[in-house]
Amino acid sequence: MKKWTRRAFIATGVLAGGTAVVGVAIRPGNRSDKVADLIGEEGDAIFDVWLKISPDNTVTAVIPHSEMGQGVHTALAMMLADELDADWSKVRFEEAPAHKEYANHILIKGFLTGGMKIPTFLQGTVDGTFLTIGKSMGLQITGGSGSVRFTGEHGMRVAGAAAKAMLKQAAAEQWEVPASEIATENSTLIHQASGQSAPYAKFAVRAAELKMPVQPKLKSIEEFKIMGTSPPRFDTPAKVKGTAKFGIDIQLPNMKYAAINASPVFGAKVVSVDEAKVQTMPGFQKLVQLENAVAVVADSYWQAKKALAQVSIQFEETEAKGLDQAAIFTQFEQALDEAEASGKAEKDHKSGNAKEVLANAGRVVEAEYRLPYLAHATMEPMNCTAWVQPESCEIWVGSQNPLGFAVEAAKILDLKTSQVQVHNQFMGGGFGRRAETDVLKQTLLIAKEVDVPVKLIWSREEDMQHDVYREANISRFKAALNEAGQPVAWKNHFLYKHHPVEAPYIPYGIENQLIQYSDSKTHVPWGNWRSVDHSMHGFFTESFIDEVAHANKQDPYQYRRNLLADNPRFRKVLDLVAEKSDWKRPLPPNWGRGMAIHQSFGTIVAEVAEVEVDDAGGVKVHRVVVAADPGFAVHRDGFKAQIESGVVYGLTAALYGEITIEDGAVAQSNFHDYQMLRMKDMPKIETHILNSGEALGGAGEPGTPVIAPALANAIYDATGERIRQLPVKNHNLTRKAEKDGHLG
């Protein structure tokens, strides 16, 4: 680590041609010249690492996050522009380069500190610490629904407000008036008393030379002019016109294509390869053998794929050979049983004495839930293009962590990170998958063997069978009930603990709680899947609380509401979804209504699903009503779109999603056996936003964890059949069980 300095938080520099630079000199080191070289053009005034003002009065927000359909480029620019009082029609954006100066230190700080306010005198040291961590780890991540709530709130807004203060000060010096008398509006400085006004650009260079306030005054919600509205997104025109560039769209001079076939069983290595049949095939260029995969390079992707199909590959047999899904779940059961019997389960959360209360309870409700492995199944198959040269490498890819890709590429190729250039593209779906570097590694090892750019494209089958998966899981519950039917103890024991840490925690007022977890290793690779652990625990906890309510023959809405007496923010969201769904309205025969509520990534979401189960057992979701409290929705339409996207993603998984292991390998191979929700089956989704004014929450993931339990609870309401294992497609609902009557 470099020596800590006593330099000021902000330092000044000037680019050739008069471009002024104010970089954030976060200890250790001064980033001014590095940032100016990365994003500055002649005549630009650069404030902070996220903002520049051009001579034509254009304001450009430099966004350190990737665009994968969530609208982050627009939302973050809105936050900066609003605090700056910029003319939105003249606001532009650039995605930050994959460079260590754009490591997401604010995102890291937000996740680790919960976004708490840092005293001014400690700001430089704290930011310096997290920036150093971000650089060392190569983190320029887009994920965890953290872009708006952390980078936007503590980076973009601060940058806009600070630049506005500096512009006022610069104008005040020249006009010889107090800065407090200068107003700002639509990228214009105004001194009403003297009748003077000027565009920001007139004072931008001088302003950028001034010391930037570390903690400038931010607007209140009532003062917002851009935040809370829904301007057209920056990425929409290109996507509508078909000019938007995704990773798979890249075309380069002399570029070749690669197709790849990895070992069906994870971890197995290549034993032998027979390429005799492909040497004379049209377009064939080269066969490249990797440790656990074989690739063919050809003039076109189709030629590469056809040639690869003719290559005879033998993979080694591993201990996982012969393993199937039933054996994996048996292993899981044994792990939970043994941990429970030995008392060696890891404690996750404890309050009161749940074990003792359960042991002495007169009435206990128990249930066990199971979830399958899930693939990401992004619309755009995994791909990457690389041009590897002796002293440099260029990469074209859609990545959720472009800096991390640059760092990883440098390691693989024995280059300096500065010798690697990543051209980040739009992503046709991310969901956590495009933060993984497996495809990058394959591409680089293949591209090293040729002297032209190479684009590696995974087939849909490769994409499905070599994903990093959301784990299969089992979660066991017990609840002790008092004479009034209220839970007085809650015990939960599940497999695997990833993140966020709070995913299995419940909002309900139950005095005695014991939440535990155990591990059970398998050969199936794990990866972040949309909303990560929340996607599992939302189903687990909200299914079980629904069972407890029905065990007491109580309305599941009122039952939850009573348990949220000390949690008014949750209660408001629950009440809103009950109101908007018309919870008490009678439903037609064979219909059911189910509810769930869960907080993830700072946003509380409640959902009510209305379903019909026909006589043949077919499940039709007619309507989903959503109530969400994100603290404040920055881009209202964008927030709704993300919540609804999360509903669709989670509903698809709940109805159909299942990756199974057969003979050690993934059995599914394409959308014919890993089904997606079709447009004809799409429910009507109604989203209602509750702006509570609390700390900002995320949008991309919180809609997902709630829909599976809402669906399962609705199916129970319609049929009396309790869904404790997903997906729904595996259940025979043709024979209706005796039900206890619709309680909605």
Residues 491, 549: Cα–Cα separation, whole Å? 16
Task: Determine what percent of the chain falls in helix, strand and coil, rounding each to the nearest 5.
Answer: 35, 25, 40
- Interval 710-725 mean pLDDT: 97
22 and 84 belong to one structural domain:
yes
> Is there a domain that residue 744 lies in?
no
What is the pLDDT, as a whole number, of residue 30? 34
> Is there a domain that residue 481 lies in?
yes
699 and 554 belong to one structural domain:
yes
pLDDT by residue (tens digit) across 577-611?
Answer: 999 999 999 999 999 999 999 999 999 999 999 99
One-letter-per-residue 3-state SS of 75-133 = HHHHHHHHHHCCCHHHEEEEECCCCHHHCCHHHHHHHHHCCCCCCHHHHHHHHHHHHHH
pLDDT by residue (tens digit) across 133-151?
Answer: 777 788 899 999 999 999 9
pLDDT by residue (tens digit) across 108-121?
Answer: 777 777 666 666 65
172 and 236 belong to one structural domain:
yes
Is residue 20 very low, low, confident or very high in pLDDT (cuts 50, 70, 90)?
very low
- Interval 487-516 mean pLDDT: 97
Is residue 669 very low, low, confident or very high in pLDDT (cuts 50, 70, 90)?
very high
272 and 405 belong to one structural domain:
yes
Range 710-728 burial, b when 16+ CB lie within 10 A, else e: bbbbbbbbbbebbbbbbbb
**Across the strands, what pairs with 294?**
261, 289
Range 42-64 burial, b when 16+ CB lie within 10 A, else e: ebbbbbbbbbbbbbebbbbbbbb
What is the pLDDT, as a whole number, of residue 685? 98
**Which amino acid is it at 353?**
N
Last residue of a domain, one of 241, 263, 284: 241
> Is there a domain that residue 358 lies in?
no
Residues 462, 146: Cα–Cα separation, whole Å? 30
Helix (H, G, I), strand (E, B) or coil at 258: strand
124 and 83 belong to one structural domain:
yes
Which residue is it, tokens 């909605």? Answer: 744
Range 430-459 burial, b when 16+ CB lie within 10 A, else e: bbbbbbbbbbbbbbbbbbebbeebbbbbbb
448 and 484 belong to one structural domain:
no
Contact 525, 468 (CB under 8 A): yes
- For the chain, the average pLDDT equals 92
- Residue 273 DSSP symbol: E
253 and 235 belong to one structural domain:
no
573 and 606 belong to one structural domain:
yes
> Is there a domain that residue 360 lies in?
no
Range 232-257 burial, b when 16+ CB lie within 10 A, else e: ebbbeeeeeeeebebbbbbeeeeebb
- Residue 146 DSSP symbol: -
Last residue of a domain, one of 214, 241, 268: 241
* Residue 108, domain CATH: 3.30.365.10
Neighbours of 186 (CB within 10 A): 15
pLDDT by residue (tens digit) across 66-98?
Answer: 999 999 999 999 999 999 999 999 999 999 999
H/E stretch holding 236: helix 236-241
> Is there a domain that residue 410 lies in?
yes
Packing angle, helices 568-580 and 556-563, rounded to 10: 160
Host domain of residue 531: 473-730
pLDDT by residue (tens digit) across 301-314?
Answer: 999 999 999 999 99
Residues 530, 648: Cα–Cα separation, whole Å? 12
Neighbours of 676 (CB within 10 A): 16
What is the pLDDT, as a whole number, of residue 49? 86
- The pTM of the full predicted model, rounded to 2 decimals, is 0.93
**Across the strands, what pairs with 91?**
59
Neighbours of 38 (CB within 10 A): 18
Contact 393, 415 (CB under 8 A): yes
Number of H helices, E strands in the chain: 18, 29
Last residue of a domain, one of 457, 484, 505: 457
304 and 162 belong to one structural domain:
no
Total structural domains within the chain: 3
Q: CA gyration radius for the chain?
A: 28
Structure tokens at 494: 């599940």
646 and 721 belong to one structural domain:
yes
> Is there a domain that residue 566 lies in?
yes
> Is there a domain that residue 372 lies in?
no
521 and 591 belong to one structural domain:
yes
Which of 694, 541, 687 is CA-nearest to residue 607?
A: 687
504 and 638 belong to one structural domain:
yes
Residues 705, 505: Cα–Cα separation, whole Å? 13
Instruction: Give the side-chain half-sphere CA count within 13 A for 289.
Output: 12
> Is there a domain that residue 326 lies in?
no
